[in-house]
Amino acid sequence: MSGAEGIPLAKPELGEREEELVLEVLRSGRLSLGPVQERFERAFAEWLGAPDAVAVSSGTAALHLGVRRLGWGEGDEVVTTPFSFVASANCLLYEGATPVFADIDPVTLNLDPAAARAAVGERTAGLLPVHIFGYPAALPELTDLAEARGLGILEDACQAPGAVDADGVPVGARGNLACFAFYANKQLTTGEGGVLVPRSADEAAIARSERNQGRALDMDWLDHDRLGFNYRMTELQAAIGVAQLERADELLAQRARVAALYAEALGELGGVPAAPGADLDGLVLPCANRGRERRSWFVYPVRLPLGADRDAVIATLAERGIAAKAYLPCIHLMPHYRERFNFRGGEFPVAEEVAERSLALPFFPAMTEEQVARVSEALAEALAGSWT
């Protein structure tokens, strides 16, 4: 590979094993509702350490079915983070529930438990924490809050397969309803796909029915005993997933390796990991693991120094063939949410400030030390010339 070749933002690791299992499915002629989906479900549940996992067509579909299992709907408020991918709030709107945003912790970028507590009111039915950028949300505190106020919890673990929370429990395996996603840029991919981790066998059965047009498992094809959707995962997707799970730990280790390379290279540019009491005005790197918490590396987001012109930085990196993206914008400031709920900006100052400064750099398991160095050097040059 020549040094001048472009560096993409993300790139899935797909190999011979994925090809072999997809070919097997193609040759079997059974493309949906077959044995590979079940095999994927069993393999995922086992890898996670949960009793069961329901495969669906996307992470968003998993979230939607999770919201339905908690019975959240019209008149219910659910406290969640504005600093997330839009699906974690959209899934509430699908069922007529209202997202109530609470600000984030400036170090972990996850829902701040104190802000969440302050946002709980009479109509609050639940909490929807997101393990953003693969860092575990404060589940011990949020669990206490939920128990004290009788709230349900739906965990959006779409960015966090393999993360571990402060109690040492793998994210998604605490016994809450939890969702994972397998879009092509995620740690594990099926192209498109998702999983809902159910709390009971009954809940799993209902989710399996709802993903398949409401058909009960023992019914004929055209009998449907409840409202359902087409949220089925194909056998082709499941085959890719089985192959990915066989080397999940290695894929996660590769990502952690790249993150360590970035931390070192960007540290030399003055980048500082986010930490309580750290100077957060300069170049800020993702926080380090605290206590028993373990991040599952999903992306490599930095906060640019205050006053840096992010668009100019992105343009300078693009000139050098390096992809970078403003990531993430706040959900409450998206047009649909602004109009529907009258958000103006300024309500969630931590999330808004982080959103304005954060930039995702190229990040994928096969990234080389040389590529990380190229990105870091280009970022240094871009920052030097980007002051507004």
Ligand X SMILES: *Cc1c(COP(=O)(O)O)cnc(C)c1O
Identity of the residue, 245 or 261, whose beta carbon is nearer to ligand X in the bound complex: 245
Can you spell out the DSSP letters for 310-376?
A: HHHHHHHHHHTTB--EE----GGGSHHHHHHH---SSSSHHHHHHHHHEEEEP--TT--HHHHHHHH
- Do 208 and 37 contact (CB within 8 A), yes or no? no
Q: Residues interacting with ligand X, by CB under 6 A?
A: 58-60, 84-85, 87-88, 130, 156, 158-159, 181, 183, 194
Question: Minimal distance in Å, beta carbon 144 to ligand X?
Answer: 23
Helix, strand, or coil here: 382? Answer: helix
As a dihedral over the C-alpha atoms of residue 67, residue 71, residue 75, residue 76, rounded to 10 degrees, the angle is: -60
CB of 108 to ligand X, least distance (A): 14
- Closer to ligand X by CB, 91 or 259: give it: 91
Omega before 304 within 30 of 0, i.e. cis: no
**Which residue has 């949960």 as its token pair?**
50
Give Cα separations from 87 to 101, 107, 183 (angstroms): 14, 23, 13
Taking the least distance from each CB to ligand X, the nearer of 195 and 313 is 195
Rounded Cα distance between 355 and 321, Å, is 24
Catalytic: 325?
no
Which entry of 186, 255, 294, 310 is annotated as an active-site residue?
A: 186
CB of 120 to ligand X, least distance (A): 22
Nearest to 179 by CA among 200, 153, 213, 215: 153
Question: Could you tell me which of 187, 162, 186, 184 has the C-alpha nearest to residue 172?
Answer: 162
What minimum distance in Å lies between the beta carbon of 64 and ligand X? 9
Question: In this chain, which residue has its C-beta nearest to ligand X?
Answer: 59
Q: Which CB, 130 or 238, lies closer to ligand X?
A: 130
Instruction: Select 60 or 371, whichever has its Cβ closest to ligand X.
Output: 60
Q: How far is the CB of 379 from ligand X (least distance, A)?
A: 24
For residue 129, what are the CA distances in angstroms to 98, 104, 141, 224, 289? 15, 10, 11, 33, 18
Query: Which residues are catalytic, by number?
Result: 186
